[in-house]
Chain A
Amino acid sequence: MKSKVVDVSTAVSKIKDNDTILFSGFYARGTAPDVIDEILKQGQKDLTVATNDGGWNDVGVGKLVSAGIVKKFICSWCGRTPIIPELDQKGELSLELVPQGSLSERIRAGGFGLGGILTKAGLDTIIEEKWGKRINVNGEDWLYQTPIRGNVTVLEAWEADEFGNLIFKNSQRNFSTVMAYASDIVIASVINPIVKAGSLDPDKIMIPGVIVDYIIQQKGV
């Protein structure tokens, strides 16, 4: 078995201009801060970002928007990152809003080989007007939304082994368990010391290391 532990610059060098990146986290908690800072350093641009919320203008994914390197932002809420709706209004960024449950389910569809989702959430709202399609199945109306996939998923984990088996702490888990399956490359930044394969209880592992590509030991933040 080859260890997947790399330094942050190696992991981030796999991200290319124009990539779509899925970031886990809520209000930037559970969003890998070391990966965000390294993207800013390496200067990838024209990114599409899908994540629950924008964090803050100067914390979490909001930092990438503030740096002007995001062309499209997909989220359920951006109330603490006023720069996102501002840039959307100026036409400098395209904002797509997705009801939070539809966001996790669209990503799940993307990761699990499904052609999209049918939900009641968003019927008769701006979501149907701008981003969805009403479909009638056996006499019942549903809103169809497409799957979401990324080139790269960026996670923050609490514990990991060198093969990339991951364990999360409390609400840090949030979107990780769907995002991990929905990108070609999965990067995880790990808070606690990364352990040898075989050290974690297999029944407690939340994401199988076999789908994780690069793991980073997070430095104190």
Chain B
Amino acid sequence: MSDKLSVKERIAKRTALEFNDGDLVNLGAGIPLLCVKFIDEGKNVYLHAENGIIGATSLSETDDKEEFLRNHLMDAGENPIKLLPEGCIIDSATSFGIIRGGHLAVTVLGTMQVDQQGNLANWMVPGGKFAGMGGAMDLVVGAKKVIVATEHCAKDGTPKILKQCTFPLTGSKVVDLIITELAVFQVNKEGLILMEIASNITIEELKDKTDADFVVSKDLKNIEI
């Protein structure tokens, strides 16, 4: 089955293994949101959205999207949503109080750059569009666990996992775990530890695609996807 998954789906599937039963999680746009379809059915995981949603779930194909939007049932990316029976609505101040106050178990974000100190740069390219950070800066300092889920390299093949971010930071020393289609790295005070590696690549090949330094865990495993 895994063979049929796209690269992005494989990253999302591995990331979804990090969620525990009862967790409140916030998923960014792109690969992070793809995690939803890979959450183990035996786990109750609650989706948080910055605009005041707890317990978001997807619409079915027959649902009228416009009707949900008219009723202000949407997530922070303006995707129409439903609420789980356990779900509820809160205001923006409470939503971010939940984030900063340590009540959010996990935040998953995509990125342009991440480095071996756990610095994240995912909101702006120098000289590029000055569009703002939304809730990302609050999420990375507040969530109990910050996971970066990203393709290992940029579209042009250059490494995204660097010794030092060069783009404007979203947060400094905030990332706990980096998950790509090739590797899973834990971020510690000393730097990156390679915990898992894809079965189709050697450690030497991985080093070529990774600018950051890393040490190899003595418990190194293959990625389970």
- A residues sitting closer than 8 Å to B (CB atoms) are 26-27, 29-30, 52-53, 75-79, 82, 85, 88-89, 95, 97, 99-102, 104-105, 108, 119-127, 168-178, 206
Contacts and interface: CB of A to CB of B under 8 A. Distances in A.
List 9 A-B pairs, minimum CB-CB distance, nearest first: A101-B96, A101-B138, A77-B132, A124-B172, A79-B131, A170-B72, A99-B137, A100-B135, A120-B141
Contact of A174 (B91, B134, B141, B170): B91
Given A99-B138, A125-B168, A52 B92 contact: yes
B89, B91, B171 — most chain A CB neighbours (10 Å)? B91
Contacts of B72: 29-30, 168-172
A79 to B, nearest CB: 4
A95 B130 CA distance: 10
B50 interface: yes
Contacts of A78: 131-132
A174 B92 contact: yes
A31 to B, nearest CB: 12
Interface stretch (B14-22, B73-81, B199-207): B73-81
B55 interface: no
A175 B72 CA distance: 14
A26 B49 CA distance: 12
Interface in B81-123: 89-93, 95-96, 99-100
B71 interface: yes
B52 interface: yes
Interface of B: 49-53, 69, 71-74, 76, 78, 89-93, 95-96, 99-100, 124, 129-138, 141-142, 168-172
Contact of A79 (B95, B132, B137, B138): B132
A75 B132 CA distance: 8
B52 A100 contact: no
B55 to A, nearest CB: 12
Contact of B131 (A27, A85, A102, A121): A85
A127 B170 CA distance: 10
Contacts of A123: 141, 171-172
Nearest to B74: A171
Contacts of B91: 104, 173-178, 206
A191 to B, nearest CB: 10
B172 A100 contact: no
Given A26-B78, A100-B134, A105-B93, A124 B169 contact: yes
Contacts of A88: 130
Contact of B133 (A29, A76, A105, A175): A76
A194 B135 CA distance: 34
Contacts of B96: 100-101, 104-105
